[in-house]
Amino acid sequence: MWGFLFSVYLYYMKYIITENQFQLINEDKISERIISIIKKLYYEKGKNIHEIQKITGLPMETVLGSMKDFVMDIDCGMSYDLIRLLLDKTWLLSTGIKEDGVETLVKYDRFDGTVQYTYENDNYILYGFATPYWGGDCNLPIENQTNFDKLEREDEYNESMITIDLPNSFRSISELIDWYNSSYLQILLREIKKFL
């Protein structure tokens, strides 16, 4: 068997990825050849992440993983798009934070493009929304929708909202990932405690 060949056409150039290289992609071991193809598409051809994914046919996770250390100007609008992509297509962003035995979980809702949170301690469960860079704005609107009082066994539909200013730019996807996995989750936990 000749093996599976995956061809990528870019204008008049042809890039061939062998079956072994394709398996490396699936094992999250991105080859230098793949990175150089993506780098060329991004820097020389001016293609964005979605165009690169469409041209190469690579999984979005591979494209994002290949580009995470590229130097780029990531503004608030791009931060919003990247966070949604990273939450939806990769495992690079944390989905929770644990402090003093209490865990705060976040999940991405693909239908409406929001990040939702659940906070639970011994007395309460809080549900709400906390989507960083929502709509491309440089802030974090945190909206608590429901408090469930475990002792009284009742829901309180007490909407509370606060908006936090966020950094205006990042220099790489890695920098955005680091910010999300540390600062974002800490900000969210701090503000949830204020709701209580």
Q: What is the mean pLDDT of the chain?
A: 83
Which is more confident, 70 or 9? 70
CB–CB of 172/68 below 8 Å?
yes
Phi, psi of 51 (to 5 degrees): -65, -40
Q: What is the reported pLDDT for 7?
A: 38
Residue 70 has pLDDT above 90, yes or no: yes
Strand-strand pairing, 124-130 and 96-99:
unpaired
Residue 29 has pLDDT above 90, yes or no: no
**32 confidence band (pLDDT: 50, 70, 90):** confident
Residue 183 has pLDDT above 80, yes or no: yes
Which tens digit of pLDDT belongs to each residue from 104-150? 888 888 888 899 999 888 888 888 999 999 999 999 999 988 777 77
Residue 44 has pLDDT above 90, yes or no: yes
**Can you list the domains of the chain with their CATH numbers?**
6-67 (1.10.10), 96-195 (no CATH)
Amino acid code (one letter) for 17: I
Crossing angle of helices 49-56 and 60-67, in 10° steps, is: 130
Task: Report the SS3 class of residue 20.
Answer: helix
Nearest 5°: CA angle at 83, between 41 and 178? 95
Mean pLDDT of 155-175: 87
Distances (CA, A) of 70 to 19, 42, 146: 26, 9, 40
Residue 5 has pLDDT above 60, yes or no: no
**14 confidence band (pLDDT: 50, 70, 90):** very low
Least confident span in 38-47, 64-73, 157-166, 179-188: 157-166
What's the CA gap between 95 and 87, in Å, rounded? 9
Which is more confident, 12 or 88? 88
Residue 172 has pLDDT above 50, yes or no: yes
Which tens digit of pLDDT belongs to each residue from 78-114? 999 999 999 999 888 988 888 877 788 888 888 888 9
CB–CB of 155/57 below 8 Å?
no
DSSP string, 165-180: E--S-BSSHHHHHHHI
From the CB of residue 110, how many other CB atoms can be counted at a distance below 10 Å?
A: 10
